[in-house]
């Protein structure tokens, strides 16, 4: 079931309760969630505080966005689109699944507080199921694929090495299908998609699919979890 279909039955779900909706919508991560090993290859923390950018795709951007907004050292997170062209970077067009875009998040973080490898560990542990091909939970299509859009050679090396490490360790029952591909561009999504988790906590989709991701972050990464959520301006740039 796609998120668009979920939107169309939202009023019905509100009337009959979240429990009925959950019977026809599997959580985005249905596997057992356990902390993964630290990356053997990671970036060296700089001496001072700086800003770096990571772009990740792991299904519906609402949940991935929410997870990283609760990670210490993360300064800003935007929902958006990567993989396609600027003229196709709109929600309606991306939802058709023919634009080459994936729903993605842009993460601005301080590498002195959280490393790129740690972000990937969080990503693979609680933000996405890397074994699901062109889908996450109830959402299907290439726009919901799992992908790491690396911005430089170092990010490529770390991401590729971590996927190989997890594969060798048989961290998942099924093969990892997460793409590791170069970042061409990131296009911010429409304003109503920004801060969606915080603004719509009772949305049945959020309750079923995304709230458990944040709960798993708190449980498995207490040293990285922060209760306060970073909030981004809808005046995107």
- What amino acid positions are annotated as catalytic residues? 60
d(CA 159, CA 139): 25
φ, ψ dihedrals at 192, nearest 5°: -70, -10
**If DSSP codes are grouped into helix, strand and coil, which group holds residue 5?**
helix
φ, ψ dihedrals at 127, nearest 5°: -90, -25
Q: For residue 181, list its beta bridge partners.
A: 149
**If DSSP codes are grouped into helix, strand and coil, which group holds residue 207?**
helix
Nearest CA to 58 among 29, 37, 88, 32? 29
Residue 101 near residue 94 (C-beta atoms within 8 A) = yes
Q: For residue 80, list its beta bridge partners.
A: 104, 188
């Amino acid at each position: 079931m796609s998120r668009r279909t979920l939107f169309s039955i939202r009023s019905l779900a509100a009337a009959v309760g979240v429990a009925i909706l959950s019977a026809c919508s599997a959580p985005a991560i249905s596997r057992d969630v356990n902390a993964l090993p630290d990356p053997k290859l990671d970036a060296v923390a700089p001496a001072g505080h700086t800003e770096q950018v990571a772009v990740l795709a792991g299904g519906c951007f609402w949940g991935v966005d929410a997870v990283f907004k609760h990670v210490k050292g993360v300064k800003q997170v935007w929902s958006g689109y990567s993989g396609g062209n600027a003229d196709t970077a709109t929600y309606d067009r991306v939802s058709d699944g023919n634009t080459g875009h994936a729903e993605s998040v842009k993460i601005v973080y301080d590498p002195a507080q959280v490393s790129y490898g740690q972000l990937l560990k969080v990503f693979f542990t609680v933000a996405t199921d890397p074994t699901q091909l062109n889908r996450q939970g109830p959402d299907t299509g290439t726009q919901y694929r799992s992908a790491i859009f690396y911005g430089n050679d170092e990010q490529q090396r770390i991401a590729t090495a971590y996927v190989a490490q997890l594969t060798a360790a048989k961290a998942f029952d099924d093969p990892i299908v997460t793409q590791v591909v170069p970042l061409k561009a990131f296009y911010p999504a429409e304003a109503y998609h920004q801060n969606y988790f915080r603004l719509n906590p009772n949305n049945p989709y959020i309750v079923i699919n995304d709230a458990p991701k944040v709960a798993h972050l708190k449980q498995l990464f207490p040293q990285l979890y922060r209760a306060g959520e970073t909030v981004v301006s809808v005046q995107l740039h």
